[in-house]
Structure 1
Amino acid sequence: MKVPQIRLESTTAQIGLQTRNAINNIQQPKADLSIEQPKAELSIKTTRSKLTIDQSQARADVDLKSIAKRKEEFAQKGYQDLLAGIARRAQEGVELMKIENGGNPIASQAKQNSQKPRKEFGLGFIPSAGSVKVQYDPAKVDIDIKQNKPKIDVKVNKPIYEYEAGGVDVTLERRNELKIDFEMIDIKA
């Protein structure tokens, strides 16, 4: 006897998955840095030193006098000698006026005018101690420094950030199928 037989053949669906990873890119540019150091300002002021040596007294002690000093001394000595001469002559005149009082004024005056005065001699240091006068004013130095601070300029650069999202692509690689067949089978009873 022949019996119908149903044959079922199925194929499952097949899914394909393709993934893309996310891309994350971060770059940090260096900061822009500028440093400038201005020079310090330096000011130096100097007052010269002064040395004064006065040796006029020492030169006078060793008889090395200037012409002006000699003229002044000679004029002064001449004036003193003139006054002394006038005083001596006046005194001699008074003595001669009073000749009647006795004595011998003419002989004593002649004797006095004919004798030279005695020279005096004394020891001394030539030039005398302390005759050279020295005065020294030291130099003065004023130093002024103005310090200039450095000029620092910083520009911060922001990070460069790039992001590309990942994803999943789903595809149907194979469809599902169902095949149905009918066949007659002989069965022996």
Structure 2
Amino acid sequence: MQLPQIRMHQTYAQIGLRTVEPVQEIQQIPADLSIKQYPSKMNIERKPSQFEIDQEQAWNELNLKKISVLSADMAEFSKQEGLEAIAQISQEGDQLARIEHKNDAIASIAAEKGNPEPADFNVAFIPSYGSVKIHYTPSELSINWEQGGTEIEFTPHKPIHNYTPGKTNVYLRQMQDLQIDFVGLNVNYKL
């Protein structure tokens, strides 16, 4: 016995997608940066040191005197010797004038001049210690700073932004389909 069969063949509907990708462009313009540098200034003032050596006293002690000092010393020495000679001559004159005392003035004057006192000797260092005078003035240093500076100017720029949005289109790629077949008994039936 043969039974009638219904055969169904179905095709599903399919959709398709057409996509246009979005485009994004960003351009960043670099910022403008301006830097001005003002240098620092340094002023140095220096007073030089001084080193003084005064050895005039040492030269004088060595009898290597300047002409002006030598002439002044000789004038003083001559004046002193002259005054001492005048004093001695005056004394001797006074002794000779006193004849009434009956002392032998000529013999005593001759004895004094014939036997002078011994010369006074002494050990001395020439030139003497401390006769060379040294004076030192150290240098003076003055440092002054004028601080410089920096001037910075910064100008930012906005980015250039272009955006094209994407699109997606949906379409029916395949229509749905349903086929029904009756196999086996033939039935002519119309609806």
TM over 0.5: yes
* Correspondence for 2:148: 148
Structure 2 counterpart SS, 1:82: helix
Alignment-mate amino acid for residue 118 of structure 2 = R
* Correspondence for 2:59: 59
* Correspondence for 2:40: 40
> What CA deviation, in whole Å up to 9, does each residue of 1:95-148 have, x standing for no partner?
222221231112222333345553222112122111111110011111222221
**Are positions 1:135 and 2:104 aligned together?**
no
**Are positions 1:25 and 2:25 aligned together?**
yes
Aligned-partner Cα distance in 2 for 1:109–1:68: 39
Aligned-partner Cα distance in 1 for 2:99–2:164: 152
Structure 2 counterpart SS, 1:122: coil
Aligned-partner Cα distance in 2 for 1:135–1:113: 50
Structure 1 pair 114/67, CA: closer, same or farther in 2 (3 Å)? farther
Aligned-partner Cα distance in 2 for 1:125–1:54: 18
Alignment-mate amino acid for residue 52 of structure 2 = T
Aligned-partner Cα distance in 2 for 1:91–1:116: 16
* Correspondence for 2:83: 83
* Correspondence for 2:70: 70
Alignment-mate amino acid for residue 135 of structure 2 = Q
Offset, 1:39 = 2.1
**Are positions 1:119 and 2:119 aligned together?**
yes
Q: CA RMSD in A?
A: 2.8
Aligned-partner Cα distance in 2 for 1:154–1:46: 43
Alignment-mate amino acid for residue 159 of structure 2 = P
Q: Percent identity?
A: 36
Structure 2 counterpart SS, 1:150: strand
Offset, 1:158 = 2.1
Structure 1 counterpart SS, 2:38: coil
Structure 1 counterpart SS, 2:103: coil
Structure 1 counterpart SS, 2:65: coil
Aligned-partner Cα distance in 2 for 1:57–1:127: 8
* Preserved contact between residue 39 and residue 149 of structure 2 (Cα < 8 Å): no
Alignment-mate amino acid for residue 148 of structure 1 = G
Aligned-partner Cα distance in 2 for 1:83–1:117: 20
Aligned-partner Cα distance in 2 for 1:73–1:37: 71
State TM-score, norm by structure 2. Answer: 0.69
Aligned residues: 156
Alignment-mate amino acid for residue 150 of structure 1 = T
Aligned-partner Cα distance in 2 for 1:64–1:118: 28
Aligned-partner Cα distance in 1 for 2:116–2:151: 95
